[in-house]
Amino acid sequence: MSQDSGNFEKQLREALGREDAPAGFAARVLAAAAAEKQVRVMPVAVAKLPKLPKQSWMQRPFALAIAATIAALAIVPAVVLDYQRREEARGMKAKQDLMVALSITKNQLQQARAKVQRSSRNTQ
């Protein structure tokens, strides 16, 4: 019994005893740590993602629609106002021409009537 317990103690001491690291162990650990650092700085997964084509704002229909709406809102009132102004100027010019035309017509008809009256008086 005492011999058995003596063997056991011996085995236990051997198992728990200090054992030196194998040769080159420290160097391998340092190399692994350095490699891990590099992976953190530039993860392989991100680095390998395919690059998406860069879209300009003009290729985005929604942005384009908003831009067009803003442009229209800015331009339409000015165009309408300009059109109204031109139409009014045309109308005023047409009115002036009409009054001149009618006045000349009236003047000519009155002169013709006066000439007829004058010539009929002369014949009498």
Least Å distance between CB 70 and other proteins? 35
Number of separate helices (H) and strands (E) present in the chain:
4, 0
Binding positions for other proteins, 104-123, rule CB under 8 A: 104-113, 115-116, 119
CA angle 51, 54, 60 (to 5 degrees): 135
Least Å distance between CB 81 and other proteins? 18
The answer to the question of residue 96 lying near other proteins (CB under 8 A) is yes
Q: What is the DSSP string of 12-36?
A: HHHHHS--PPPTTHHHHHHHHHHHH
Q: Cα–Cα distance between 51 and 40 in angstroms, integer?
A: 21
Contact (Cβ atoms closer than 8 angstroms) between residue 57 and residue 64: yes
The answer to the question of residue 67 lying near other proteins (CB under 8 A) is no
> 7 or 120, CB closer to other proteins?
120
Least Å distance between CB 57 and other proteins? 45
Q: List contacts with other proteins (CB under 8 A).
A: 90-92, 94-113, 115-116, 119
